[in-house]
Amino acid sequence: MSIDVTSLTNRRATNRWDRVSVGDFWERITWSYPDKEAIVGRPGAFAYPENERLTYRQADELANKVANAMLARGLGRGDRVLFFCDNSTEAYVTKIAVAKAGLVSTPINPMLAPDVIADLIQRTDPKLSFVDDELWPKCEKAFAETGLTPSVTIPVCGKVLEGSVSFADFVEGASTAEPDVEIHGDDIWEIIFTSGTTAMPKGVMISHNYSYLAGYSFALSLTRGLRFDCDLKMVTFLPLIFHIADQIFSFPAFLTGGTLVFGRRYDPDGIAQAISDEDITMWWGGSPAMLEEVTDRFEKSGGALDASSVTSIVFGWTAIDPKLVDRMRALTTPEVSLLEILGQTEAISCFRFWPDKWPETFAANAPATNYVGVPNPLLASKLVDEEGNSLEGTVGVPGEAVYRSPVVTAGYYQDEKATEEAFRGGWFHSGDVCEYDAEGLRIMVDRSKDMIKSGGENVSTLRVETILRSHPQILKAAVVGLPHERWDEAVTAIVVPSDGETPDPDEVKAFCRERLAGYESPKAVIVVDSLPETVGGKVLKYKLRVAHADFYVDAE
Burial of 121 (0-12, 13-18, 19+ CB in 10 A): buried
Q: CA distances (Å), 206 to each of 352, 366, 432, in order? A: 22, 34, 20
Q: pLDDT value at position 524?
A: 95
> What spatial distance separates the first Cα and last Cα of the chain, rounded to whole Å?
79
The answer to whether 316 and 342 are in contact (CB under 8 A) is yes
pLDDT at 537 over 80: no
Q: pLDDT for 345-390, tens place per residue?
A: 999 999 999 999 999 999 999 988 999 999 999 999 999 998 999 9
Q: pLDDT for 199-236, tens place per residue?
A: 688 999 999 999 999 999 999 999 999 999 999 999 99
The answer to whether 305 and 330 are in contact (CB under 8 A) is no
What is the percent of the chain where pLDDT is above 70?
A: 98
Q: pLDDT value at position 13?
A: 76
Report the sign of the C-alpha dihedral through residues 70, 74, 77, 79, in that order: negative
Poorest-confidence range of 155-164, 310-319, 377-386, 457-466?
A: 457-466
pLDDT at 52 over 70: yes
CB atoms within 10 A of CB 73: 13
Mind listing the domains of the chain with CATH numbers? 20-204 (3.40.50.12780), 372-449 (2.30.38.10), 452-555 (3.30.300.30)
pLDDT at 434 over 90: yes
Rounded Cα distance, 468 and 492, in Å: 11
Q: How many CA atoms lie within 13 A of 457 on its CB side?
A: 13
* Residue 287 pLDDT class (50, 70, 90 cuts): confident
The answer to whether 179 and 69 are in contact (CB under 8 A) is no
The answer to whether 519 and 459 are in contact (CB under 8 A) is yes
Report the sign of the C-alpha dihedral through residues 353, 354, 358, 363, in that order: positive
Q: CA distances (Å), 492 to each of 368, 483, 533, in order? A: 18, 10, 18
Q: pLDDT value at position 373?
A: 97
* Residue 430 pLDDT class (50, 70, 90 cuts): very high
Query: Could you tell me which of 66, 271, 99 has the C-alpha nearest to residue 185?
Result: 99
Instruction: Report CA dihedral (412, 415, 421, 427) to the nearest 10 degrees.
Output: 30
The answer to whether 245 and 238 are in contact (CB under 8 A) is yes
Amino acid (1-letter code) at residue 185: G
Q: Which long-range contacts (CB under 8 A, 24 or more apart) does 55-62 make?
A: 56/26, 56/29, 56/30, 57/30, 59/26, 59/93, 59/96, 60/26, 60/27, 60/30, 61/176, 62/93, 62/97, 62/171
pLDDT at 197 over 60: no
Rounded Cα distance, 246 and 200, in Å: 22
CB atoms within 10 A of CB 196: 17
Q: Name, of 149-158, 283-292, 516-525, the range with top average pLDDT.
A: 149-158
Q: pLDDT for 70-110, tens place per residue?
A: 999 999 999 999 999 999 999 999 999 999 999 999 999 99
Task: Provide the mean pLDDT of the chain.
Answer: 94
Largest separation between any pair of C-alpha atoms in the chain: 79
Q: pLDDT value at position 358?
A: 97
What residues form DSSP beta bridges with 82? 106, 129
Model pTM? 0.87
Q: pLDDT value at position 199?
A: 64
Count, in order, helices (H) and strands (E) of the chain.
18, 25
Helix, coil or strand: residue 61:
helix
User: Does an H or E element contain 493, and which?
Assistant: strand 488-497
The answer to whether 262 and 45 are in contact (CB under 8 A) is yes
Rounded Cα distance, 86 and 91, in Å: 8
Amino acid (1-letter code) at residue 542: Y
Strand order of the β-sheet with 188-193 is: 165-166, 152-154, 128-132, 80-84, 104-107, 188-193, 203-207
